[in-house]
Structure 1
Amino acid sequence: MDGSPMKSHEIIIVPEAEIAGLMTPEAAFDAVEAIFGAMARKDAYNFPVIREAIGHADALYGFKSGFDRAGGALGLKSGGYWPGNEAKGLTNHQSTVILFDRDTGRPKAMVGGNLLTALRTAAASAVSIKHLARADSKVLGMIGAGHQSAFQMRAALAQRPFEKVIGWNYHPEMLSRLEAVATEAGLPFEAVDLDRLGAEADVIISITSSFDAILHDAQVTAGTHVACMGTDTKGKQEVEAALVARATVFTDEIAQSTTIGEAQHAIASGLITEAAITEIGAVINGTHPGRTSAEEVTLFDGTGVGLQDLAVAEAVVDLALKTGVATRVPF
């Protein structure tokens, strides 16, 4: 060391309680769409995901990390799933985003990640609907009625002139959540079986934690866009592998799609190869046409990448600084 004094440093804290007043679904959409484009241009990179059962509280813990060379976001989201939290009045999914200064490596910000995770996941499926669903889509089908389903539905409804929402959930009593969001949007809602959902929906969003296929190939009609948003771990599965094989498949990141995403099963059974999967950023950037016919079935495998979290966290830090709700702590 040269004996010169260390420069003072502050870290910006944006607590979970402030996120709802800062990050809108529209801002999350813009951030996620931009990061998908940067990924396809190879301007942004996700690092390998760590996700482990810790052997305590039946919890899954891990972190996702990456660097957006174009936008400047560097950092990680850390957290996981604690199934006993609901009984304690807490959200089962817990996460925190830590951002670093790309020029010095110093910590820049710590941001509550729970609501941001729901918003960025919903934004990803909405981006896929914008770029892949038929323009005349009228019926939205929802599979799953858990915490994230309301965010998914609200984000989807902004992308097409939907006239009706239909839904299915393993526990039918939870469908009241979807009905409330549909009513809030001024749309009728109907609980249906999976045969009707597949036959009638123009866009289907699945957001479950299933390890067995729920939606089958024979149930889905031509022209449907399917957004599979729940499969993010080896072994999970929301739709039959034959449906993935039949569809034109798009994803956030091919490496995750083939290993922990919905496409893992079609890949493992030899129904498709990695070459059959396209990153949605290519459609956003105009280097892939996306949907090419009204009869084509398109499928978005939303595995959830760390760069999504960093993009929305960077946006929320900027908003927190502008509105004066950020806390600066010497570090």
Structure 2
Amino acid sequence: MQIVSEKAVKAAVSRADAFTAVESVFAAMATGQAWNFPVVREAIGHADALYGFKSGFDRDHMALGVKSGGYWPGNAARGLTNHQSTVLLFDPDTGQPRALVGGNYLTAVRTAAASAVSIQHLARPDAKTLGIVGAGHQAPFQLRAAVEQRPIERVVAWNRSPERLESLREAAQAMGLPFEAVDRDTLCEQADVIITITSCFEPLLTREQIRPGTHIACMGTDTAGKQEIDPAILASAEVFTDDPTQAATIGECQHAVAQGHIHRDAIRPVGGVIGEPGSFRRSAEAITVFDGTGVGLQDLAVARVALERAVEAGTAVRIDL
């Protein structure tokens, strides 16, 4: 079995690698060549932590495995990232473990890749202003991946604690983009693409705030009860997701489905648009929403790339288990 450390993973997987891997696995999911297993995600009753497992099998790339991890809100005070994850890959022919792969960087880069895939396939081609709601560890990853998909000219952002926006400012400036901290009304007035990346349990954006033509990538809701936007937004939008079942049960769509704003059948897999580009023709006035629930297949896709690259570079460590 191979061990791929966080350091080796960072050196092995670029944003472009993650984008290609995630886009490919979304397309495989839409054709039935890859599927996720039911998610386990629970509060453990200690340290206010959420812990769980995401797993699946990608027949196209022969990736089988599980990501284990969750969210520890007190980790920042310890100098650690709040999200902690590890990926275990298995040989689909024998069931033997192939690799143990550090999952913290991979979680951030694959989550950013998922929203970037949605922007590439669903946002207006002329989108120029990016809005970000949230300023946690994953927010700069989201910014860097998003601006590579459209001719973004400026970034606006909001967070409950404005002082935490400094990392986003630095990321924007490093890419040569003007950055401004704004309130939520101003963000929605100006942004062509909005990414929400929070751990909230209440809507932060209302239907009245969203302009026609906006694309929203909701990337923070992955647990029952979490919520980032008003369900009325979903009722008036073209809704896409990574996994429709997860979206309706633990994703942003859970509230809209439960309240009768939308039917489960209205939630479309983004992989279908990737595989059949003509299946979605965006109008200039349409509001599009991507419900990024986070699927195990994303983790397996990027972990597979990390393993292959690390073995080639000699940075993976082989052990006998």
TM range (shorter): over 0.9
Choose 197-206 or 88-97, whichever is displaced more.
88-97
Matched AA of 1:284: I
Aligned equivalents of 1:104, 1:73: Cα separation in 2: 12
Matched with 2:216 is: 226
Q: 1:325 aligns to what SS in structure 2?
A: coil
Matched AA of 2:72: W
Matched AA of 2:214: T
Matched, 1:114 2:136: no
What percentage of aligned pairs have identical amino acids?
A: 60
- Counterpart contact for 1:76–1:306, Cα < 8 Å: yes
Aligned equivalents of 2:43, 2:278: Cα separation in 1: 38
Q: 1:21 aligns to what SS in structure 2?
A: helix
Aligned equivalents of 2:210, 2:6: Cα separation in 1: 39
Aligned equivalents of 1:136, 1:83: Cα separation in 2: 37
Matched with 1:8 is: none
**Alignment partner for residue 101 of structure 1, among 66, 91, 102?**
91
Matched with 2:142 is: 152
Matched, 1:41 2:31: yes
**Alignment partner for residue 186 of structure 1, among 176, 192, 207?**
176
Matched, 1:30 2:24: no
Question: Which whole-Å deviations, capped at 9, do the CAs of 1:214-244 have from their partners, x for residues lacking one?
Answer: 0111101000100000000111110000001
Matched with 1:60 is: 50
Aligned equivalents of 2:13, 2:25: Cα separation in 1: 16
Shift of 1:301: 0.3
Matched AA of 1:56: H
- Counterpart contact for 1:133–1:291, Cα < 8 Å: no
Q: 1:312 aligns to what SS in structure 2?
A: helix
Aligned equivalents of 1:201, 1:84: Cα separation in 2: 32
Query: Structure 1: any 5+ residue segments left out of the alignment?
Result: 1-10
Matched with 1:135 is: 125
- Counterpart contact for 1:282–1:288, Cα < 8 Å: no
- Counterpart contact for 1:209–1:236, Cα < 8 Å: yes
Matched AA of 1:156: A
- Counterpart contact for 1:291–1:298, Cα < 8 Å: no
Aligned equivalents of 1:272, 1:279: Cα separation in 2: 15
Aligned equivalents of 2:171, 2:50: Cα separation in 1: 30
Aligned equivalents of 1:180, 1:204: Cα separation in 2: 19
**Alignment partner for residue 229 of structure 2, among 239, 242, 251?**
239
Matched AA of 1:164: R
Matched, 1:253 2:260: no
Aligned equivalents of 1:187, 1:89: Cα separation in 2: 29
Aligned equivalents of 1:123, 1:242: Cα separation in 2: 26
Shift of 1:291: 4.2
Q: 2:165 aligns to what SS in structure 1?
A: helix
Choose 283-292 or 34-43, whichever is displaced more.
283-292
Matched with 1:172 is: 162
- Counterpart contact for 2:122–2:282, Cα < 8 Å: no
Aligned equivalents of 1:106, 1:285: Cα separation in 2: 32
Question: Which whole-Å deviations, capped at 9, do the CAs of 1:179-204 have from their partners, x for residues lacking one?
Answer: 11111111111111111111111100
Question: Which structure has the bigger radius of gyration?
Answer: 1
Q: 2:203 aligns to what SS in structure 1?
A: coil
Give the superposed CA RMSD.
1.0
List structure 1 segments (4+ residues) > 4 angstroms apart after TM superposition.
none
**Alignment partner for residue 326 of structure 1, among 312, 316, 319?**
316
Q: 2:279 aligns to what SS in structure 1?
A: coil
| TM-score, with structure 2 as normaliser | 0.98
Pick closer, same or farther for the CA change 1:267–1:144 going to 2, 3 Å. Answer: same
Q: 2:51 aligns to what SS in structure 1?
A: strand
Pick closer, same or farther for the CA change 1:298–1:291 going to 2, 3 Å. Answer: farther
Aligned equivalents of 1:185, 1:248: Cα separation in 2: 31
Aligned equivalents of 1:65, 1:249: Cα separation in 2: 24
**Alignment partner for residue 188 of structure 2, among 187, 198, 205?**
198
Shift of 1:82: 1.9
Aligned equivalents of 2:279, 2:155: Cα separation in 1: 28
Matched, 1:161 2:161: no
Q: 2:62 aligns to what SS in structure 1?
A: coil
Shift of 1:288: 5.9
Q: How does 1:269-284 map to 2 (within 5 A)?
A: 269-284=259-274
Q: 1:213 aligns to what SS in structure 2?
A: strand
Matched AA of 1:104: T
**Alignment partner for residue 266 of structure 1, among 237, 256, 279?**
256
Shift of 1:56: 2.4
Matched, 1:19 2:9: yes
Shift of 1:261: 0.4
| TM-score, with structure 1 as normaliser | 0.95
